[in-house]
Amino acid sequence: MKKILLTGFVLIMFFVGKISSATDGIINITPSNGVKQGQTAFITVDFPDTPKNPVFMFKGKKYRLFKSGQNEYSGLLGISALENPGKHELAISDGTEIVGKAYINVLASPYPKQNIRVTKSMSGLGASDYELKQIGQAKYTVTDEKLRTNAPYNSPTQGCISSVFGLKRYYNGVFSGNYHNGIDIKASFGTPVKAITDGKVLLAENAKLFRVNGTTVAIDHGQGLVSFYLHMSKLDVKAGDFVKAGQKIGEVGSTGFSTGPHLHWGLYIHGTPIDPMAGWIKPVSLCK
- The residues binding Zn ion (CB under 5 A) are 184, 264
Cα–Cα distance measured from residue 81 to residue 83, given in angstroms and rounded to the nearest whole number: 6
Let me know: does 57 contact 14? Beta carbons within 8 Å.
no
Cα–Cα distance measured from residue 178 to residue 200, given in angstroms and rounded to the nearest whole number: 28
Q: Which of residues 88 and 169 has its CB atom nearest to Zn ion in the complex?
A: 169
Closest separation in Å from C-beta 264 to Zn ion = 3
CA 29, 70, 21, 61 torsion-angle sign: positive
Closest separation in Å from C-beta 263 to Zn ion = 9
**Whole-Å CA distances, 279 to 39, 135, 159, 196:** 9, 24, 18, 13
Burial of 148 (0-12, 13-18, 19+ CB in 10 A): buried
Cα–Cα distance measured from residue 231 to residue 165, given in angstroms and rounded to the nearest whole number: 17
Best CA proximity match to 73, nearest among 25, 108, 111 = 25
Closest residue (Cβ) to Zn ion? 264
Closest separation in Å from C-beta 231 to Zn ion = 8
Burial of 57 (0-12, 13-18, 19+ CB in 10 A): middle
Closest separation in Å from C-beta 181 to Zn ion = 8
Q: Which of residues 166 and 222 has its CB atom nearest to Zn ion in the complex?
A: 166
Q: Which of residues 74 and 163 has its CB atom nearest to Zn ion in the complex?
A: 163
Q: Which of residues 148 and 264 has its CB atom nearest to Zn ion in the complex?
A: 264
Q: Which of residues 184 and 220 has its CB atom nearest to Zn ion in the complex?
A: 184
Closest separation in Å from C-beta 163 to Zn ion = 6
Closest separation in Å from C-beta 112 to Zn ion = 14
Q: Which of residues 73 and 210 has its CB atom nearest to Zn ion in the complex?
A: 210
Let me know: does 74 contact 44? Beta carbons within 8 Å.
yes
